[in-house]
Structure 1
Amino acid sequence: MSLRYEKLYIGGQWVRPHGSDVITAVSASTEQELGSVPLGVEADIDDAVTAARNAFDEPRGWATWEPAKRAEVMERLADAIDARKDEMVRRISSQNGMPIVIAEQLEGGFPSMLLRYYAGLARQAATEEERPGLLGGTTLVRRRPVGVVAAIVPWNFPQALTFFKVAPAMAAGCTVVVKPSPETVLDTFLLAEAAEEAGVPAGVLSFVPAGREVGAYLVSHPGVDKVAFTGSTAAGRSIAEACGKLLRPVTLELGGKSAVIVLDDADLSTSIEQLFATSFINNGQTCYLGSRILAPRAKYDQVVDVFSGLASGVAIGDPLEPTTQIGPMVSARHRERVESYIAKGKAEGARVTVGGGRPEHLDRGWYVQPTVFADVDNNFTIAQEEIFGPVLSVIAYDDVDHAIRIANDSDYGLGGSVWTADPERGAEVAKRVHTGTIGINAYLPDPTAPFGGVKASGLGRELGPEGLAAYQQLQSVYLDRS
C-alpha cells in the first residue's frame, strides 16, 4: 500500500505546505513507488524556524524547563518511537535498502537508546558551577542551550543520525528543525506522529523534507543558532563556509576512507562476523567503514583470500528478508557512482578478486556485488576517494611503521580498526593512527563516547557527554564577594 502524506509537521501541528510538489519515495529493491510526502520550500523553513524560535525564546519556553522535566518528555518520545519500531525499520529498509536485521539493531534501537541516555545526562549534569577567582570574588559558570538547531540528516542511517543530533539538543534545551534526506522521508513522518503522541511541546521539533537548495537556505537562516550536519565532505565544506561567514557554530560528520590494519599475528578466520561489520555493514553505505585493508606483505595473499571469501559468501537480496546481508544501493544514481569507481579501479591496474558487477539473479533493484580489489596502491583513486558502497581495496605493507604511514596517508580520518592477537599491541598501533575513532578487533560507535572525525572527516563530536556540550554555550557571571 502506498503511503501518502499531504501535510508537514511544523510547530506541533500538521499544516499544509506552501508548495505543491512532492517527494516520491521509491523502493531500492523493487524500484516501485512506496509513497509520497510534500516537498518543503523556503516558506516552510521560515515557518519551522519561527516555531522553533518562539518555543525557545518565550519566557516559559523549552529552554527554561527544568532538565528533569525535559527528560520526561524525551522518555515519552522514546516510548512512542519504540511502539512504532517495527514499522519504522520496514520503511527505512524499503527506502534505502538497508538489510532489515541491521535496521532492527541500529535504526530500531538507537533512537530510543539515545533519547534515554541523554535524558539521564540531563538529570545528572550540572548546568552551573561556582569557581573561586584568582583576583578576588567568584565566577558562576553557566551552561546554556545554544538555541535553534538546524539538523540536516542523510539517508544511510536516517533515524539513528537524526537522534545523534535531536537527543542531545533536546536535553540541552534547544529546539530543532530537522531536514531529512529526500531518499528517506516516510520514516520521518512516522517520527513526527510519535512526537505528537508523546506531547513534545509545539516548536521543539519540526520536520521539513527538502532538497539541497532548501537545505542551504536553512543553514543560512537568520533564525538558526547552530547547524548539525551529517553527509558528504563536499556538502560539509559548503556548510562550513556558510557558517564561517555567519560565525555560526556547526558540527560536521563527513566522509571517511578508514583503514583496517591487519597485524602479522592476527587470525582473521575467527573474526568473520566482526570483519563484515567493519567493512560491509549497510551495503557499504556507512561513513566510518574500513574500506582500505592494510595487509602485511608476508600474509598478503591470505588476507586477500579472507576478504574475498567474505565478499563472495554473503547473502545478497531483498533487504526485508531476515537472511539478507547485502541489499541494494539507495538509488540508481548512487549505483552508477559506485560502478564508476569499480571501473576506475580496473583501469588503474587493480585486480578484482570477487564481484565487480551486478548480481545475476536479481533483475530489479539497484544492486552491486560486494567487490574486493587486490594489488592496490594507496595512491589509486579507489584507495583515496570515498566510494560509499561494498568495495574494498587490499593494500600491502612492509612493517608496522609502513602500515601507519599508509593509514595516515588519507584526506580522511573518521574510523578504522586494528586486528591482532595482542590487544595491547593493537592499542599502541591504534594510538598512532590519525583518526577520530578506531577499534581493536571490532568497531562500532558507542553512545557514551565521542564520535567524529579529523581532517576532511569533519568538525566537532557527537555522542557522549561531549555531544551534549556541543549544544550548550558558556556564560560566566562574575560575583564580587568583597
Structure 2
Amino acid sequence: MALLADRESRLLIDGELRAGENGAFGTVNPATEEVLGTAADASAADMGAAIEAARRAFDDTEWSRNTALRVRCIRQLREAMQANIEELRELTIAEVGAPRMLTSGGQLEGPVDDLSFCADTAENFSWNTDLGFARPQGMPSNRTIAREAVGVVGAITPWNFPHQINLAKIGPALAAGNTLVLKPAPDTPWAAAVLGEIITEHTDFPPGVINIVTSSDHGVGALLSTDPRVDMVSFTGSTATGRAVMTDAAATIKKVFLELGGKSAFIVLDDADLAAAAAMAAFTTSMHAGQGCAITTRLVVPRASYDDAVAAAAATMAGLRPGDPNAKGTVCGPLISARQRDRVQSYLDLAIAEGGSFACGGGRPADRPTGFFIEPTLITGLTNDARVAREEIFGPVLTVIAHGGDDDAVRIANDSPYGLSGTVFGGDPQRCANVAARLRVGTVNINGGVWYAADAPFGGYKQSGVGREMGLAGFEEYTEIKVIATLAP
C-alpha cells in the first residue's frame, strides 16, 4: 500500500485511480499543524463521472444479483485492510488526530472486522419470502416478498470516525447489491482514498461498483442529493446539513438515511455510585476530544449531590490532559481543525456569558502552543435552557445539570431537539430500566453496558436522524421490497 509513502491520494472512478480535475488540496495533522500531503480535489465533472459509473454498474452488470461475488469482494476488502492495519493505524492517528488507544476499537480495527457481519448477512439473508396462497379479489394467487437492492447509493461521511462511518455505509450497501459513490469529509480524505488503492490492488470489485470522490468543495458532495441517477443518499453529519440533504433529495423523492447530531444525557439516580458515575461521564466526554455524535454531554445529577458530582467529574477531567494522539495513554487528542477549535471556544465563551462557570478547563491548554487542542471542560451553574446545554458542541465539554428526581431527570433528558443516545446510572436495575424505557433515544447504556456492535442497529429519534445504521436493520435500509403475485392454476 503506497499511499503513506508518496503522501498523495487519488480518486477511484469506474475502477481506475485518477487525479482530480481541480488538482489537489492539502491535509494537515491536527496535533502538530504540519502539512501531511495532498488529496485529489474532484470537480463536479468528476462526481458526475463517478455517478455514471455506479449507474452503469448497477444497471448493466450482474452485481446486484450475484450474492456470491459480493460476499467474496467484501471479505477480500476486510482481509486486505487487516493485512495493512498498521499503516492504516498510523494514517488514522496522523489525519484524524485519533488517540492510538482508540484505533484498536471504533476508530479502525472494530469497523474493519465488522465487514464480516455484512458479508455473512448477505450470504444468509432471506432474499425471498413465501407469502403463501390466497384469493385476493377472488383471484387464486401465489405471492412472494422479494428484497432487492435500492440502486445507486450516494454516501456522504464526516471526519470524526471516518473508518467506522465509511465502512458502516460501504459494507451493507454493497452487500445488499447496490453500487456506491462515497464522498468523505475534506478534513479526512485519506481514510477514504486509501480504500480505493486497496480495492484496486486486492479485491475483485468490478469497475464502477464502488467509487470514491474526495474534494475540498462540499458542493461536490451535495450533487449526490440532487442527481436523478442516484437512488438513495446515506448521510452522517450535522443536523443542519442533514436538513439540506433531505430537502435536496425531495426533488427526486430519493430514499434518505440520516444519522445526525446529539446532545445526549447521562442520568445519575440518587441510589447510584455518584463518584463512579461522574468519573465515567467525564471520561466519555473527553475521549477523542468529545468528537462523537452519541457522546453524553449533559451530566444530569440529583440536586442534593450536585457539588459532589461536580467535584468527582472535575477531578477526572483535570487528569485527562490533552495530549499527543501517538502517545499510548492519550485519551483526549486534538480537535480536527482550527475552525472546529474556534467553534468550541465560542461555546465556552458563551457559557460564561450565560452565567455559567468552569470547574475545570475552559480553553486552550498552556502546554500545547501548536495543535488544535481544547482542555476537557466542565460547565456548572446552568440549567437545561442554556444554549450550551441544548446545542451540539462537538468538543470535550460537559455541562452538569441538577434534577429533582427520576421524573425530572427524564424530563430534562427528553427536553432536547435530539434523541440519539443516553446513559442511566443507578443501584436498582429495575429502576434504571424504567428510566431507560422512558428516554426518547435510539441507544441507552445502563450502568456501563455497551450498545455499539456490528449486529446492533444505531440511530436516533427526533432531529438525530432517520433510519438505522449497522445490524440487520442497517442492512435492510439499503433494500427495497417487491411483492410478486403469480396467478395460481
Query: Shorter-normalised TM-score: what interval?
Result: over 0.9
Q: 2:51 aligns with which of 27, 49, 52?
A: 49
Q: 1:164 aligns with which of 161, 168, 172?
A: 168
Hey, what does 2:31 align to over in structure 1? 29
1:98-140 CA distance string (max 9 Å, x none): 2111123222213322210011111111100111235232211
Q: CA deviation at 1:445?
A: 2.0
Q: CA deviation at 1:187?
A: 2.0
Distance in 2 (CA, whole Å) between partners of 1:383 and 1:192 is 40
**2:458 alignment partner AA:** F
**2:151 alignment partner AA:** G
Distance in 1 (CA, whole Å) between partners of 2:280 and 2:195 is 31
Q: CA deviation at 1:270?
A: 4.2
Hey, what does 1:112 align to over in structure 2? 112
Count of residue correspondences: 479
Quote the sequence identity (%): 38
Distance in 2 (CA, whole Å) between partners of 1:346 and 1:322 is 34
Where do 1:390-409 residues align within 5 Å?
A: 390-409=396-415
Hey, what does 1:385 align to over in structure 2? 391
1:185 pairs with 2:181: no
Hey, what does 1:468 align to over in structure 2? 475
Distance in 2 (CA, whole Å) between partners of 1:375 and 1:458 is 30
1:368 pairs with 2:374: yes
Q: CA deviation at 1:255?
A: 0.4
Distance in 1 (CA, whole Å) between partners of 2:435 and 2:6 is 50
Q: CA deviation at 1:47?
A: 1.1
Where do 1:33-432 residues align within 5 Å?
A: 33-58=35-60, 60-65=61-66, 67-132=67-132, 133=134, 135=136, 136-196=140-200, 197-210=202-215, 211-270=217-276, 274-276=280-282, 278-432=284-438
Whether contact under 8 Å (2:63, 2:69) holds in the other structure is: no
- SS of match in other structure, 1:144: strand
Q: CA deviation at 1:164?
A: 1.2
- SS of match in other structure, 1:334: helix
- SS of match in other structure, 2:463: helix
Query: RMSD of aligned C-alpha atoms?
Result: 1.6
Distance in 1 (CA, whole Å) between partners of 2:115 and 2:434 is 34
User: For structure 1, which segment, 436-445 or 326-335, has the greater mean C-alpha deviation from structure 2 after superposition?
Assistant: 436-445
Q: 1:315 to 1:351 in 2, by over 3 A?
A: closer
**2:295 alignment partner AA:** L
Whether contact under 8 Å (1:30, 1:364) holds in the other structure is: yes
Hey, what does 2:454 align to over in structure 1? 447
Distance in 1 (CA, whole Å) between partners of 2:121 and 2:156 is 24
Hey, what does 1:479 align to over in structure 2? 486
1:10 pairs with 2:13: yes
1:266-303 CA distance string (max 9 Å, x none): 11444677545632221101001100110011111111
Q: 1:6 to 1:112 in 2, by over 3 A?
A: closer
Whether contact under 8 Å (1:89, 1:108) holds in the other structure is: yes
**1:102 alignment partner AA:** L
4+ long deviations beyond 4 Å = 270-274
Whether contact under 8 Å (1:86, 1:108) holds in the other structure is: no
- SS of match in other structure, 1:416: strand
1:13-45 CA distance string (max 9 Å, x none): 11233223x221101011010010111111111
- SS of match in other structure, 2:36: strand
User: For structure 1, which segment, 273-282 or 259-268, has the greater mean C-alpha deviation from structure 2 after superposition?
Assistant: 273-282
Distance in 1 (CA, whole Å) between partners of 2:159 and 2:388 is 23
Q: CA deviation at 1:370?
A: 0.3
Q: CA deviation at 1:428?
A: 1.2
Distance in 2 (CA, whole Å) between partners of 1:4 and 1:295 is 48
Whether contact under 8 Å (1:274, 1:441) holds in the other structure is: no
TM-score by length of 1: 0.96
Q: 1:447 to 1:134 in 2, by over 3 A?
A: farther
Q: Gapped runs of 5+ residues in structure 2?
A: none
Q: CA deviation at 1:321?
A: 1.2
User: For structure 1, which segment, 4-13 or 38-47, has the greater mean C-alpha deviation from structure 2 after superposition?
Assistant: 4-13
Distance in 1 (CA, whole Å) between partners of 2:463 and 2:407 is 23
Whether contact under 8 Å (1:2, 1:34) holds in the other structure is: no
Distance in 1 (CA, whole Å) between partners of 2:224 and 2:478 is 18
Distance in 2 (CA, whole Å) between partners of 1:92 and 1:298 is 43
- SS of match in other structure, 1:215: helix
**2:64 alignment partner AA:** A
1:442-471 CA distance string (max 9 Å, x none): 244222111111111111111110011100
Distance in 2 (CA, whole Å) between partners of 1:420 and 1:430 is 11
**2:435 alignment partner AA:** V
1:416-450 CA distance string (max 9 Å, x none): 11011222221110110111111102244222111
Distance in 2 (CA, whole Å) between partners of 1:72 and 1:78 is 10
Whether contact under 8 Å (1:3, 1:34) holds in the other structure is: no
- SS of match in other structure, 1:49: helix
Whether contact under 8 Å (2:158, 2:237) holds in the other structure is: yes
TM-score by length of 2: 0.95
- SS of match in other structure, 1:424: helix
**1:82 alignment partner AA:** Q
Distance in 2 (CA, whole Å) between partners of 1:106 and 1:449 is 14
Q: 1:424 to 1:3 in 2, by over 3 A?
A: farther
Whether contact under 8 Å (2:21, 2:43) holds in the other structure is: yes
1:458 pairs with 2:458: no
User: For structure 1, which segment, 176-185 or 215-224, has the greater mean C-alpha deviation from structure 2 after superposition?
Assistant: 215-224
Q: Gapped runs of 5+ residues in structure 1?
A: none
**1:476 alignment partner AA:** V
Q: 1:270 to 1:226 in 2, by over 3 A?
A: same
